[in-house]
């Protein structure tokens, strides 16, 4: 039976009426009306012709502008103008880590790509990493020089005062604090320790706004080792997740997405895949990929964890502690987990110590440690210490604190009790912020000593034991900023810069631990060039369970869930702004949310049933615990829950980030059960969201094809049967196109794609796609060259979700090409549907005739235009533009080019090296960025290429192939590992 896919929520309601079709007036009518209104239109036309004829002649008599070419005085030997250089580096911000390559053109970094030498991240990236290059050029928000009370000051003067304060605090017995997020850099930790030796009054407080410390603490209690194991999703056959959005945001999503995709990919050689069961309240990226998704309230989730533990304990003969019934068949789940002993991985995203202790016990019973949980090379994340931070606030209040410093932390914004914290901060005589760009905490600090952007910094990091990565500057600091560590070195009076320091650190600490190189210099240069160094270094968890913690945990959890209210909320991190640190990045702000496709806002998601019962509609503003949030109806949202994304509502962030959405950190409280909605009400006000996808019905066509694993195993064409029918009925009037050389094609594996939207940002960064702003998104004029369509299927309360990346399909018989009156779009010799902007006159016929709606029209001039006051409206912001791609003018159509500049570059490289092109050598930005390798690009005429093989896969199909327009982009059927 045909699956019904539906899109808008209204569609599923009984009283749904399709919107009345707007009467479309024909072109003739419009012209006739116009002719009546303005009888002289033709004459006007002739007048204008005359004027433009004259002015053209006059203008042509003018001289051409003089362009200058300014060479180097001393050209560095390795630097070639007009050629890109790549530097291996690391994107690190607290717990967030990604090993990257930085593309630098003529001395300015323009693109971030994944470093495939890093085994931990597997060469992938995420949206935040991709967009991080834009923040480098954020001249509106970045601090440009050291400041004291808002006035410019010098580093020397600041250093002197701070050193004096540190010294005096020691003498007066007062406290000094340095607040940092989790530090993945061991050299920085060592450096801070050195500083503490010099100034014993200085205390290091590690505090993460989004904390993973409960996992670390739970392991301390369960296994007597404070560590976080590495989650090997690639080794798991059964993945059970409790609200852990490991593909989008949780811990190290890039690594996990890479590993997860490996178990999700099916082929005729490997016809099996992992099974993913997901419990959560709101729909997350990870939840949308699950085979079984169970939408439950946060309190029920905790109950299920307890019950699951008990069921498993009962089967394995362990201690059973009575717990409330959760109303879910946990017995079956327990049996399934135990049937997959050693191949199961259970993860929990709740920052709840007791729940994590039970998860440890469950994983222990499932024999995950040593198998799907790497207990030797453990993660170095989640060192945040809320208790220490709370203690610090107390000390600040008593007036016993002389100095407090904030590095990459913004508690004034994202501490749940910000007002309390602000009062305490005002009580401290000297406060310092190392913020790179505007933030709320820096605004309240005495000193702002701006840190370099990470692309201007040196660094050494250890995200996971045994893997060290390096950070190297791809550019000289743009402003008068100084790296945080250099500031510390100055105060420690160590008379060295951080670059020298980490070189010495590497020589002292890392060099002896490896045995590949005998020469230090060679070791350093090669490691820095690779960006990553693997050494045999472990921090092991001995999987011997300490059982006493469990009963205590159950007792406490029971107490917590007993206080749960009927309606609960959950706050979630999203793939865009995370804890708010990236709120001023217009690329990320405009990126449609992977699930709701809302850009430029956060929202309160409620379930359809809840909405119907309370007569709520999309855009109604509701008041939750005293906070006004506009709501949307989210299919798959657990009944009686409200989900809100964190990271919005910044007050001091810059032009793109301020006053966007509401600050959900304020919802968090420290009650025993913190997710209760004590009161909520309708305000009666309405709000309009900017959504990039509003009509999503497939209108009965087979746009997404899917099947289940069982069927696939018996018939690899399962779900794709219709393709045979279409192939049989293919008739054409056009001659078949012949591609003598390359024939470029892109294959999208819907099983590997998790909808994380990294590719969308990568495409934007590569192709100079403008940011258009909220109003223009509302006007359906978003400019992204590729989008990810999301469709829901089945039950509205618990739908299946499919993500479908959609870019130009580069049809061999492209409908857009036939209708262009000026032949601005036509077909290349290599199968690319090309677009010549300088020929386009903007009739938009092609947009009209494109069945995939992937073409975009430049309604405005987006660069250097006050109306679009984003990165392209500032001199510095435009530095991020890729010089190999035209910045399109107003009035032309644009679309995906398969990153033709990369193809041309790759071909040229092979030609100049006089060799054949290698498969995989050329990769468009989207495919390169994908952490799951869901997109594969290559040459169909090369029989050994991956795409040439994938296109013959029985799962392969093309979108709307019944039109016989022969797209070169192919999709592989989505297979779910579902029962029945």
Stretch that binds other proteins, among 93-101, 238-246, 610-618, 828-836 (CB under 8 A): 828-836
In the complex, the smallest distance separating the C-beta of residue 764 from other proteins, rounded to whole angstroms, is 16
What's the full length of the chain, in residues? Answer: 980
- Collapsing DSSP to helix, strand or coil, 458 comes out as coil
Among candidate residues 136, 97, 392, the one with its CA nearest the CA of residue 250: 97
CB 543 within 8 A of CB 370: yes
Q: What angle do CA 973, 233, 643 make, to 5 degrees?
A: 80
Say whether residue 843 binds other proteins (CB under 8 A). Answer: no
Handedness of CA 774, 141, 479, 85 (dihedral sign): negative
Stretch that binds other proteins, among 261-269, 299-307, 825-833, 972-980 (CB under 8 A): 825-833
Distance CA 979, CA 971 (A): 24
Helix or strand (DSSP H, E) at 926:
helix 925-929
Interacting residues of 110 by C-beta distance below 8 A, sequence separation 6+:
103, 104, 133, 765, 879, 880, 881, 882, 883
Q: What angle do CA 932, 934, 936 make, to 5 degrees?
A: 125
Site pattern 779..818 for other proteins (x: CB under 8 A): ----------------------------------------
In the complex, the smallest distance separating the C-beta of residue 740 from other proteins, rounded to whole angstroms, is 4
Choose, by CB under 8 A, the member of 14, 26, 28, 83 that binds other proteins: 83
Q: In 536-674, where does DSSP find H-type helix? A: 548-562, 586-590, 608-613
Q: Which of the 8 DSSP states describes residue 280?
A: E
Stretch that binds other proteins, among 425-433, 565-573, 709-717, 738-746 (CB under 8 A): 738-746
Say whether residue 573 binds other proteins (CB under 8 A). Answer: no
Q: Which long-range contacts (CB under 8 A, 24 or more apart) does 939-947 make?
A: 939/742, 939/743, 939/744, 939/745, 940/739, 940/743, 940/744, 940/745, 940/831, 940/968, 941/739, 941/741, 941/742, 941/743, 942/742, 942/917, 944/919, 945/919, 946/747, 946/919, 946/920, 947/745, 947/746, 947/747
Q: Which is nearer to other proteins, 17 or 67 (CB)?
A: 67
Q: Which is nearer to other proteins, 591 or 745 (CB)?
A: 745
Say whether residue 914 binds other proteins (CB under 8 A). Answer: yes
Distance CA 812, CA 831 (A): 7
In the complex, the smallest distance separating the C-beta of residue 754 from other proteins, rounded to whole angstroms, is 30
Choose, by CB under 8 A, the member of 520, 886, 949, 978 that binds other proteins: 886
Q: How many CA atoms lie within 13 A of 530 on its CB side?
A: 14
Q: Which is nearer to other proteins, 23 or 68 (CB)?
A: 68
Choose, by CB under 8 A, the member of 393, 771, 832, 880 that binds other proteins: 832
Stretch that binds other proteins, among 207-215, 237-245, 480-488, 737-745 (CB under 8 A): 737-745
Q: In 652-808, where does DSSP find H-type helix? A: 709-714, 722-728, 758-766, 774-778
Q: What angle do CA 253, 259, 261 make, to 5 degrees?
A: 100
Stretch that binds other proteins, among 115-123, 334-342, 487-495, 822-830 (CB under 8 A): 822-830
In the complex, the smallest distance separating the C-beta of residue 823 from other proteins, rounded to whole angstroms, is 9
Among candidate residues 91, 92, 84, 80, the one with its CA nearest the CA of residue 110: 84
Say whether residue 915 binds other proteins (CB under 8 A). Answer: yes
Choose, by CB under 8 A, the member of 24, 63, 699, 866 that binds other proteins: 63
* Sheet arrangement for strand 787-793: 5-6, 787-793, 800-806
Interacting positions 21-60 with other proteins (CB under 8 A): 53, 56-60
In the complex, the smallest distance separating the C-beta of residue 587 from other proteins, rounded to whole angstroms, is 21
Choose, by CB under 8 A, the member of 1, 14, 66, 731 that binds other proteins: 66
Choose, by CB under 8 A, the member of 829, 867, 944, 979 that binds other proteins: 829
Say whether residue 885 binds other proteins (CB under 8 A). Answer: yes
Q: Which is nearer to other proteins, 64 or 714 (CB)?
A: 64
Say whether residue 735 binds other proteins (CB under 8 A). Answer: no
Handedness of CA 837, 842, 846, 850 (dihedral sign): positive
Distance CA 35, CA 785 (A): 37
Stretch that binds other proteins, among 63-71, 304-312, 343-351, 470-478 (CB under 8 A): 63-71
Choose, by CB under 8 A, the member of 23, 476, 740, 952 that binds other proteins: 740
Distance CA 642, CA 662 (A): 14
Say whether residue 880 binds other proteins (CB under 8 A). Answer: no
In the complex, the smallest distance separating the C-beta of residue 74 from other proteins, rounded to whole angstroms, is 5
Q: In 180-267, where does DSSP find H-type helix? A: 186-198, 213-223, 253-264
Stretch that binds other proteins, among 199-207, 403-411, 832-840, 951-959 (CB under 8 A): 832-840
Say whether residue 738 binds other proteins (CB under 8 A). Answer: yes
Choose, by CB under 8 A, the member of 14, 73, 731, 733 that binds other proteins: 73
- Collapsing DSSP to helix, strand or coil, 463 comes out as strand
Stretch that binds other proteins, among 71-79, 218-226, 638-646, 870-878 (CB under 8 A): 71-79
Site pattern 889..908 for other proteins (x: CB under 8 A): --------x--xx--x--xx
Say whether residue 771 binds other proteins (CB under 8 A). Answer: no
Interacting residues of 603 by C-beta distance below 8 A, sequence separation 6+:
596, 629, 630, 631, 632, 644, 645, 661, 689
Q: Which is nearer to other proteins, 529 or 904 (CB)?
A: 904
Say whether residue 920 binds other proteins (CB under 8 A). Answer: no
Stretch that binds other proteins, among 75-83, 367-375, 423-431, 618-626 (CB under 8 A): 75-83
Say whether residue 520 binds other proteins (CB under 8 A). Answer: no
Choose, by CB under 8 A, the member of 35, 80, 332, 822 that binds other proteins: 80
Q: In 620-708, where does DSSP find H-type helix? A: none
CB neighbour class for 960 (10 Å; exposed up to 12, middle 13-18, buried from 19): middle
Q: How many residues bind other proteins (CB under 8 A)?
A: 58
Q: Which is nearer to other proteins, 354 or 968 (CB)?
A: 968
Site pattern 461..500 for other proteins (x: CB under 8 A): ----------------------------------------
Distance CA 481, CA 240 (A): 46
Say whether residue 836 binds other proteins (CB under 8 A). Answer: yes
Choose, by CB under 8 A, the member of 826, 843, 869, 874 that binds other proteins: 826
Interacting positions 934-953 with other proteins (CB under 8 A): 939, 941-942
Residue in the block written with tokens 């840190």: 451
- Collapsing DSSP to helix, strand or coil, 624 comes out as strand
Q: In 519-636, where does DSSP find H-type helix? A: 520-530, 548-562, 586-590, 608-613
Q: Which of the 8 DSSP states describes residue 197?
A: H
Q: Which is nearer to other proteins, 17 or 68 (CB)?
A: 68
Say whether residue 875 binds other proteins (CB under 8 A). Answer: no
Bridge partners, 707 (sequence order): 975
Choose, by CB under 8 A, the member of 14, 20, 28, 69 that binds other proteins: 69
Stretch that binds other proteins, among 77-85, 210-218, 518-526, 849-857 (CB under 8 A): 77-85
Say whether residue 742 binds other proteins (CB under 8 A). Answer: yes
Residue 257 backbone zone (phi > 0: left; psi -120 to 50: alpha; other: beta): alpha
Say whether residue 828 binds other proteins (CB under 8 A). Answer: yes
Stretch that binds other proteins, among 13-21, 505-513, 616-624, 739-747 (CB under 8 A): 739-747
Q: Are strands 706-708 and 974-976 parallel, antiparallel or unpaired?
A: parallel
Task: Summarize as ranges the residues that interact with other proteins (CB under 8 A).
Answer: 53, 56-61, 63-64, 66-75, 80-83, 738, 740-742, 824, 826, 828-830, 832, 834-839, 884-886, 897, 900-901, 904, 907-908, 910-912, 914-917, 939, 941-942
């Amino acid at each position: 039976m045909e699956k019904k896919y539906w899109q808008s929520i209204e569609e599923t309601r009984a009283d749904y009426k399709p919107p009345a079709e707007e009467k479309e007036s024909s072109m003739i009518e419009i012209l006739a009306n116009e002719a009546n209104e303005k009888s002289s239109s033709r004459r006007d036309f002739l007048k204008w012709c005359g004027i433009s004829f004259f002015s053209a002649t006059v203008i042509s008599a003018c001289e051409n502008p003089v362009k200058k070419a300014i060479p180097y005085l001393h050209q560095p030997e390795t630097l070639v103008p007009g050629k890109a250089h790549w530097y291996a580096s690391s994107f690190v911000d607290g717990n967030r880590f990604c090993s990257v390559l930085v593309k630098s053109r003529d001395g300015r970094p323009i693109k971030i790509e994944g470093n495939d030498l890093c085994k931990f991240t597997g060469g992938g990236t995420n949206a935040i990493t991709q967009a991080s290059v834009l923040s480098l050029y954020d001249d509106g928000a970045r601090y440009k020089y050291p400041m004291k009370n808002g006035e410019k000051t010098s580093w020397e003067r600041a250093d002197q005062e701070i050193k004096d304060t540190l010294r005096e605090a020691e003498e007066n017995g007062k406290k000094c604090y340095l607040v940092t997020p989790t530090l993945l850099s061991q050299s920085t930790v060592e450096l801070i320790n050195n500083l503490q030796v010099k100034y014993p009054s200085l205390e290091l407080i590690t505090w993460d706004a989004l904390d993973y410390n409960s996992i670390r603490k739970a392991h301390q209690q369960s296994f007597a080792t404070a560590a976080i194991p590495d989650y090997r999703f690639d080794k798991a056959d059964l993945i059970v997740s409790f609200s852990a959005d490991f593909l989008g945001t949780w811990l190290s999503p890039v690594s996990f997405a890479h590993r997860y995709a490996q178990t999700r990919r099916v082929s005729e050689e490997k016809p099996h895949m992992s099974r993913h069961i997901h419990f959560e309240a709101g729909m997350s990226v990870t939840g949308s990929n699950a085979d079984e998704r169970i939408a439950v309230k946060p309190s029920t989730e905790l109950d299920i964890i307890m019950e699951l533990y008990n069921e498993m304990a009962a089967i394995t003969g362990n201690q059973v502690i009575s717990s409330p019934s959760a109303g879910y068949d946990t017995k079956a789940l327990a049996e399934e987990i135990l049937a997959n002993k050693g191949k199961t991985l259970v993860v929990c995203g709740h920052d709840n110590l007791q729940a994590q202790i039970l998860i440890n016990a469950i994983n222990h019973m499932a024999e995950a440690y040593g198998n799907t949980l790497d207990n030797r090379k453990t993660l170095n994340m989640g060192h945040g210490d809320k208790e220490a931070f709370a203690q610090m606030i107390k000390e600040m209040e008593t007036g016993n604190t002389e100095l407090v410093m904030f590095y990459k932390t913004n508690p004034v914004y994202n501490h749940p009790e910000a007002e309390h914290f602000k009062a305490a901060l005002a009580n401290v005589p000297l406060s310092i912020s190392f913020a790179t760009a505007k933030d709320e905490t820096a605004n309240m600090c005495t000193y702002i000593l701006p840190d370099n952007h990470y692309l201007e910094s040196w660094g050494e990091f250890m995200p996971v034991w045994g893997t060290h990565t390096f950070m190297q500057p791809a550019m000289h600091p743009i402003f008068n900023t100084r790296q945080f560590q250099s500031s510390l070195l100055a105060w420690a009076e160590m008379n060295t810069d951080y670059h020298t320091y980490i070189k010495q650190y590497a020589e002292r600490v890392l060099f002896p631990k490896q045995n590949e190189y005998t020469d230090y210099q060679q070791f350093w240069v090669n490691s820095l060039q690779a960006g990553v160094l693997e050494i045999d270094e472990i921090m092991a968890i001995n999987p011997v369970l300490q059982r006493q913690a469990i009963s205590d945990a159950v007792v406490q959890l029971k107490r917590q869930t007993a206080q749960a209210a009927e309606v609960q909320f959950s706050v979630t991190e999203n793939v865009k702004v995370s804890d708010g640190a990236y709120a001023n990045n217009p690329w990320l702000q405009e990126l449609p949310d992977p699930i709701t496709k809302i850009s430029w806002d956060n929202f309160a998601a409620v379930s359809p049933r809840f909405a119907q019962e309370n007569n709520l509609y999309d855009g109604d503003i509701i008041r939750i615990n005293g906070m006004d949030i506009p709501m949307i109806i989210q299919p798959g949202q657990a009944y009686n829950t409200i989900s809100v994304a964190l990271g919005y509502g910044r007050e001091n962030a810059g032009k793109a980030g301020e006053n966007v959405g509401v600050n959900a950190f304020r919802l968090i409280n420290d009650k025993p059960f913190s997710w209760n909605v004590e009161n909520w009400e309708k305000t009666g006000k309405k709000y309009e969201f900017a959504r990039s996808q509003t009509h999503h019905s497939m209108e009965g066509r087979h746009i997404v094809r899917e099947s289940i694993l069982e069927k696939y195993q018996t018939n690899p064409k399962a779900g794709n049967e219709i393709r045979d029918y279409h192939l049989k009925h293919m008739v054409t009037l056009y001659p078949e196109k012949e591609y003598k050389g390359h024939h470029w094609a892109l294959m999208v594996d819907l099983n590997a794609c998790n909808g994380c939207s990294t590719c969308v940002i990568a495409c934007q960064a590569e192709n100079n796609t403008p940011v258009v702003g909220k109003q223009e998104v509302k006007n359906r004029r978003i400019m992204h060259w590729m989008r990810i369509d999301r469709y829901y299927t089945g039950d509205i309360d618990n739908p299946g979700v499919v993500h479908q990346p959609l870019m130009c399909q580069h049809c061999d018989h492209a409908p857009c090409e036939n209708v262009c009156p000026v032949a601005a779009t036509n077909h290349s010799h290599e199968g690319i549907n090309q677009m010549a902007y300088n020929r386009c006159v903007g009739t938009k016929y092609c947009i009209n005739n494109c069945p995939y709606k992937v073409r975009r029209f430049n309604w405005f001039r987006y660069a250097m235009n006050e109306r679009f006051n984003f990165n392209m409206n500032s001199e510095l912001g435009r530095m991020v533009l890729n010089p190999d791609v035209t910045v399109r003018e107003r009035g032309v159509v644009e679309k995906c080019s398969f990153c033709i500049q990369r193809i041309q570059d790759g071909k040229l490289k092979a030609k100049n090296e006089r060799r054949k092109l290698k498969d995989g050598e050329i990769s468009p930005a989207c495919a390169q960025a994908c952490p799951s390798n869901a997109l594969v690009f290559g040459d169909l005429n090369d029989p050994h290429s991956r795409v040439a093989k994938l296109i013959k896969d029985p799962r392969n199909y093309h979108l709307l192939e019944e039109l016989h327009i022969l797209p070169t982009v192919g999709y592989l059927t989505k297979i779910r590992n579902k029962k029945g």
